[in-house]
Amino acid sequence: MNPIPLATRRSFLGGLTAGAATLGWPARGTAGEPERPLGVALCGLGNYSRGQLAPALRLTRACALRGVITGNRDKGLAWAREFGFPERNVYAYATMARLVDNPDIDIVYVVTPNALHPEHVIAAAWAGKHVICEKPMANTAADCNAMLAACRAARVRLSIGYRLHFEPHHRELRRLAREGDFGPLRRLSGGLAFTINRRVWRVEKALAGGGPLMDIGIYCVQAACLAADADGAAHATFAPVAVRAREHPKRRADLFRDVEEGITWAMEFANGASGEFSTSYNGGEDRFRAEGERGWIEFAPAFSYGGIQIRTSAGAPRIGAAPESQQALQMDDFARCVREGRESPVPGEMGRRDLVILEAIYRSAAAGGERAEVKV
């Protein structure tokens, strides 16, 4: 991870003031007027920003798109015209420190390749901005520690883009886990796979940190922790005690040079729950199942942006209409966390927990499937 340039130290100190100010902000307008939505700047204007987050920010009520951070200034200016924010709110990655002087922006949403999350999150924190960071939080748990420390020092909030925590079918899974309709959910399974046919940053270890486990297997890890956690009191750090893993043989070693093409792993929880999962960049799969002594719940598709379907042994549960955008719910919740001074249900600590689990899965695979302990 690159160190923060010394030149930004002044901005950092200024940022402490700006960050503290935003914690208690904004004041209400005249009676009956809605509060001003918090300003979001998207950092990285690739597929996820373009296809999901920008449209979602047209639906949000507690926050709105007010700026961008991009390597391509012309693209940033085109976004400014399209989304109606001033050109002064277009930044380059190298000028993020200047955000400290911009009261339009309250939240920076980091949507760059995984390896760049630490430097972009830390730069945003130093500029006194609250941060949402896409998954996986970083390539290593050590980088997560640095990101958490920077956000703590700057007194800004950090959350991870775990959109499914706000999705009604996944909320039903959480309810079942905690209320125990089917007894404790003890047998878990699932898989998520899609096919990559060309060299993109997702198959370069230096940028992605790993292969499909880092990118999409993380959703199975998330769902497993949610289902196994019957208590919920320490949900952000609730984790298996150990994992075992085996990498799949590579069918296209030319494409997957230094990352796994696919991997299968088992998770073992202290309360007796266990799970078997797999993920791959060579196939198509999207499912999750959790079973207790008195029943089961099954998701297919389980992790997509929309159209998630569930079945249970007790029939179809009554769940409200699917939201128009999971991401809009997720970003609005974070904006309200910032306003109300409360912790996000998907905080940086949860992103770090998942990296600790993923690192243990890779350790086990490298050791030929030996049991690897997870110490969050």
Query: According to the binding rule CB under 6 A, does residue 97 interact with ligand NAD?
Result: no
Stretch that binds ligand NAD, among 1-9, 44-52, 247-255, 287-295 (CB under 6 A): 44-52
Query: According to the binding rule CB under 6 A, does residue 134 interact with ligand NAD?
Result: yes
| Three-state DSSP class for residue 131 | strand
Between the alpha carbon of residue 159 and those of residues 29, 205, 241, the distances in Å are 28, 24, 24
With 0-12 CB in 10 A as exposed, 13-18 as middle and 19+ as buried, what is 74?
A: exposed
Instruction: Report 204-263 residues binding ligand NAD (CB under 6 A).
Output: 207, 215
Stretch that binds ligand NAD, among 47-55, 138-146, 238-246, 313-321 (CB under 6 A): 47-55
Stretch that binds ligand NAD, among 6-14, 105-113, 148-156, 246-254 (CB under 6 A): 105-113
Contact between 225 and 239 (Cβ < 8 Å): yes
Query: CB 298: neighbour CB atoms within 10 A?
Result: 17
For residue 327, the minimal CB distance to ligand NAD (Å) is: 8
CB of 53 or CB of 188, closer to ligand NAD: 53
Stretch that binds ligand NAD, among 106-114, 251-259, 276-284, 345-353 (CB under 6 A): 106-114
CB of 301 or CB of 317, closer to ligand NAD: 301
Query: According to the binding rule CB under 6 A, does residue 113 interact with ligand NAD?
Result: yes
CA quadruple 241, 263, 220, 275: dihedral sign: negative
Instruction: Report 49-68 residues binding ligand NAD (CB under 6 A).
Output: 49
For residue 207, the minimal CB distance to ligand NAD (Å) is: 6
| Three-state DSSP class for residue 41 | strand
Query: CB 326: neighbour CB atoms within 10 A?
Result: 24
> Which residues on adjacent β-strands are paired with residue 274?
187, 268
For residue 85, the minimal CB distance to ligand NAD (Å) is: 18
Helix locations, the chain, DSSP H: 9-23, 47-48, 54-56, 73-83, 117-126, 141-153, 168-179, 205-208, 212, 218-228, 326-340, 348-366
Angstrom distance (rounded) from CA 166 to CA 318: 16
Stretch that binds ligand NAD, among 17-25, 108-116, 350-358, 367-375 (CB under 6 A): 108-116
CB of 154 or CB of 196, closer to ligand NAD: 196
DSSP state of 217: I
CB of 135 or CB of 186, closer to ligand NAD: 135
Please enumerate in sequence order all residues whose Cβ is within 8 A of that of 315, keeping only pairs 6 or more positions apart, or say none: none
Q: Can you tell me which of 19, 44, 191, 209 binds ligand NAD, judged by CB under 6 A?
A: 44
CB of 204 or CB of 276, closer to ligand NAD: 204
- Between strands 242-247 and 274-280, the pairing is unpaired
| Three-state DSSP class for residue 176 | helix
**What's the token pair of residue 163?**
């959109």
For residue 358, the minimal CB distance to ligand NAD (Å) is: 13
Angstrom distance (rounded) from CA 104 to CA 64: 10
Angstrom distance (rounded) from CA 187 to CA 172: 17
CB of 1 or CB of 23, closer to ligand NAD: 1
CB of 86 or CB of 306, closer to ligand NAD: 306
- Between strands 187-193 and 158-160, the pairing is unpaired
Angstrom distance (rounded) from CA 79 to CA 84: 8
Query: According to the binding rule CB under 6 A, does residue 47 interact with ligand NAD?
Result: yes
Query: CB 61: neighbour CB atoms within 10 A?
Result: 13
Residue in the block written with tokens 């940033």: 76
CB of 22 or CB of 49, closer to ligand NAD: 49
Q: Can you tell me which of 129, 135, 157, 352 binds ligand NAD, judged by CB under 6 A?
A: 135
Q: Can you tell me which of 161, 209, 212, 351 binds ligand NAD, judged by CB under 6 A?
A: 161
Query: According to the binding rule CB under 6 A, does residue 163 interact with ligand NAD?
Result: yes
CB of 48 or CB of 126, closer to ligand NAD: 48
Stretch that binds ligand NAD, among 40-48, 101-109, 221-229, 233-241 (CB under 6 A): 40-48
Residues that bind ligand NAD (CB under 6 A): 44-49, 71, 111-114, 116, 134-135, 161, 163, 201, 207, 215
